[in-house]
């Protein structure tokens, strides 16, 4: 059975290239949904105080966005291939701006959850187009640099989300409390919409239809897995949560069967198995699961520990991440040259440095608790930022390195679905573990156990990353 796809040739005229201004536009568009996934972490205690939300509802404020995002990402990529990536980028950005406004003016916790789900759906239309536009309008070293900048944007946005969230909540602009963390997207979104008018249009030469049955089964698989993991503990594991968890592996098996059968019959599956068989895609996604799960759970648990365990304010919690952000951004700018010289070896090195940073964070925090200062945290934050920058930017390049241009939307959708699902899984599992342990053992012990688990996941990345294919070949 073949493990690669032959490039698709169509004889079509060359597409216009992506200018530096166009690249800046799509990267800014990519930053908005990623920032919004994390921006609520430092605002949850304030949202709770203002809207009197239950624990389960607060978790849904985070979960609703992530679940809608993960479920629809592949569909968003496919729609861009079919109807035009610039057009879908524009539509997704409009919807994201409007749903951000809805989140910012939400009168109740329930309304905020619904608005967050809609915002996640809008993000799923927007974000896949970024990688697709880069894949379709760049080549060679220019593509390598663009993908490196995209990886840097993804990582730095996760940190900026918490920094920005902490600053806006602490500022309490005009007495609006947490609401500016969403409202700030409105003017930024409008500016990017104006900039996006000059983006080049691209689409697949032979557009593929939407696989409705595959889409439904993928949605069922992700929902039946993520919803009970995120909400089951807070609700006392009701019967419906157990039933959904039992359904999840069966729906996943059905999805795989339907996709294989559809491709065998000459149809257009949502996730073509031939793409998934590419070594760069298959192995990259497998390494991505523990990497993104570790990163998502770390960002969530660290923010909660700083505020609940160490009694930092929202601004202090965000400020503690500044060394990580600076290190991440700096190393990300060098990642393209590092990959050009060392290839896939950059990923295991990044995983190892992250694991060392987590162990250092654990030792520092336990020894100085509860008088842990930002200066105490800085060395381990730098190591974690360096390690994540090396691994994340390189993983994106590896996964997309051999995906044909006409399937750019599929490739980007697969990668971002893997990223968002793994982030959500990390928050659902290790985040829930932290919540349970902090109630029984205390914040210090809960933090120690979870960060230890994150260090193990980083070590797994360091070991399994050695088997990744070389993106330079």
Q: Calculate the average pLDDT of the chain.
A: 84
Which of the two residues, 209 and 253, has the higher pLDDT score? 253
Q: Which residue has the higher pLDDT, 359 or 48?
A: 359
Structure confidence at residue 10 (pLDDT): 35
Calculate mean pLDDT across residues 273-281: 85
Inter-residue contact 203 to 135 (CB < 8 Å): no
CB 412 within 8 A of CB 135: yes
In whole angstroms, give the CA distance from residue 273 to residue 369: 50
pLDDT value at residue 186: 94
Q: At what angle do helices 20-38 and 55-83 cross, to 10 degrees?
A: 150
Which of 42-56, 279-293, 343-357 is the least confident region? 42-56
Phi and psi, residue 394, nearest 5° = -75, -35
Mean pLDDT of 69-89: 83
Give CA–CA dist 218/433, Å, rounded: 26
For residue 313, is pLDDT > 50? yes
- Confidence band for 9, pLDDT divided at 50, 70 and 90: very low
Place of tokens 């490039």: 7
Question: Which contiguous run of DSSP H or E holds residue 20?
Answer: helix 20-38
Contact 335, 390 (CB under 8 A): yes
**More confident position, 138 or 6:** 138
Report pTM: 0.80
Flag the least confident range among 6-15, 101-110, 464-473.
Answer: 6-15
CA 411 to chain centre: 15
Which helix (H) or strand (E) is 386 found in, with range?
A: helix 374-400
Q: pLDDT at position 90, please?
A: 92
Residue 295: is its pLDDT beyond 80?
yes
Cα gap 290→464, rounded to integer Å: 10
Confidence (pLDDT) at 326: 83
Looking at residues 191-211, what average pLDDT do you find? 79
420: three-class secondary structure by DSSP? helix
Q: How confident is the model at residue 142 (pLDDT cuts 50, 70, 90)?
A: confident
Distance CA 269, CA 307 (A): 45
CA 410, chain centre distance (Å): 16
Could you give the angle at the alpha carbon of 290 between the alpha carbons of 288 and 293, nearest 5°? 95
Distance of alpha carbon 26 from alpha carbon 90, whole angstroms? 10
**Mean pLDDT computed over 19-42:** 84
User: What's the chain's Rg over C-alpha atoms?
Assistant: 21
Select from 181, 61, 62, 75 the least CA-distant residue to 121: 75
What are the structure tokens assigned to 128, written together?
């896949």
How high is the pLDDT of residue 128? Answer: 81
- Whether omega for the bond prior to residue 370 falls within 30 degrees of 0, making it cis, is yes
For residue 343, what is the DSSP state?
G
What is the model's pLDDT at position 188?
92
Between 90 and 172, where is the model more confident? 90
**pLDDT of 11:** 36
Residue 381 has pLDDT above 90, yes or no: yes
Which comes out higher in pLDDT, residue 135 or 312? 312
- Cα 173 vs. chain centroid, distance in angstroms? 28
- For residue 249, pLDDT over 50 is answered with yes
Q: What share of the chain is helix, strand, coil (3-state, %, to 5)?
A: 80, 0, 20
Whether residue 424 has pLDDT greater than 90: no
Q: What is the pLDDT of residue 291?
A: 94
Q: What is the dihedral of CA 114, 438, 418, 201, to 10 degrees?
A: 50
Task: Please write the tens of the pLDDT for every residue from 101-139.
Answer: 999 999 999 999 999 999 999 998 998 888 788 877 887
Q: State residue 36's pLDDT score.
A: 81
pLDDT digits (tens, 9 = 90+) for 220-244: 998 898 788 777 877 888 999 999 9
Q: What is the mean pLDDT of residues 389-406?
A: 81
Percent of the chain with pLDDT over 90: 32
What's residue 101's pLDDT?
96
Residue 5 has pLDDT above 50, yes or no: no
**Per-residue DSSP letter, 173:** G
Residue 294: its pLDDT value, please? Answer: 92
Q: Could you tell me what percent of the chain has a pLDDT over 70?
A: 92
What are the pLDDT digits (tens) for 150-176?
Answer: 777 876 787 777 778 878 888 888 888
pLDDT for 383: 96
């Amino acid at each position: 059975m073949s493990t690669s796809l032959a490039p698709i040739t169509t004889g079509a005229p060359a597409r216009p290239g992506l200018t530096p201004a166009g690249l800046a536009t799509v990267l800014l568009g990519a930053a908005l949904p990623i920032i919004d996934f994390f921006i609520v972490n430092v605002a949850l205690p304030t949202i709770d105080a203002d809207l009197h939300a239950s624990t389960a509802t607060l978790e849904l404020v985070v979960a609703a966005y992530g679940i809608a995002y993960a479920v629809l990402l592949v569909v968003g990529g496919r729609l861009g291939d079919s109807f035009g990536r610039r057009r879908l980028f524009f539509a997704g950005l409009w919807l994201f701006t409007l749903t951000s406004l809805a989140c910012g003016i939400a009168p109740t916790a329930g309304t905020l959850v619904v608005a967050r789900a809609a915002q996640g759906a809008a993000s799923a239309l927007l974000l896949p187009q970024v990688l697709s536009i880069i894949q379709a309008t760049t080549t060679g070293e220019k593509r390598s640099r663009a993908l490196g900048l995209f990886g840097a944007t993804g990582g730095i946005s996760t940190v900026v989300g918490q920094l920005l969230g902490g600053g806006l909540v602490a500022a309490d602009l005009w007495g609006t409390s947490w609401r500016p963390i969403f409202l700030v997207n409105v003017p930024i979104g409008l500016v990017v919409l104006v900039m996006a008018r000059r983006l080049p249009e691209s689409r697949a030469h032979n557009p593929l239809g939407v696989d409705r049955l595959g889409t439904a089964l993928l949605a069922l698989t992700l929902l039946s897995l993520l919803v009970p993991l995120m909400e089951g503990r807070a609700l006392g594991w009701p019967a419906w949560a157990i039933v959904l968890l039992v359904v999840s592996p069966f729906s996943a098996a059905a999805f795989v069967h339907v996709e294989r059968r559809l491709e065998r019959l000459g149809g257009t599956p949502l996730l073509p198995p031939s793409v998934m068989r590419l070594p760069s895609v298959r192995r990259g996604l497998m390494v991505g699961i523990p990497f993104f799960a570790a990163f998502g759970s770390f960002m969530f648990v660290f923010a909660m520990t700083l505020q609940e365990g160490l009694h930092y304010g929202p601004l202090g919690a965000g400020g503690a991440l500044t060394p990580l952000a600076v290190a991440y951004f700096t190393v990300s700018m060098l990642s393209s040259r590092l990959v050009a010289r060392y290839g896939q070896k950059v990923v295991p090195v990044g995983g190892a440095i992250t694991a060392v940073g987590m162990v250092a964070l654990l030792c520092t925090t336990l020894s100085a608790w509860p008088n842990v200062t930002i200066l105490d945290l800085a060395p381990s934050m730098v190591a974690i930022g360096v390690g994540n920058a090396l691994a994340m930017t390189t993983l994106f390049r590896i996964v997309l390195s051999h995906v044909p241009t006409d399937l750019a939307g599929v490739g980007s959708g697969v990668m971002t679905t893997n990223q968002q699902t793994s982030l959500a899984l990390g928050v659902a599992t290790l985040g829930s573990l932290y919540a349970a342990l902090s109630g029984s053992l205390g914040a210090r012990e809960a933090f120690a156990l979870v960060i230890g688990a994150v260090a193990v996941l980083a070590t797994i990345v360091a070991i399994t990353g050695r088997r990744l294919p070389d993106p330079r070949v």
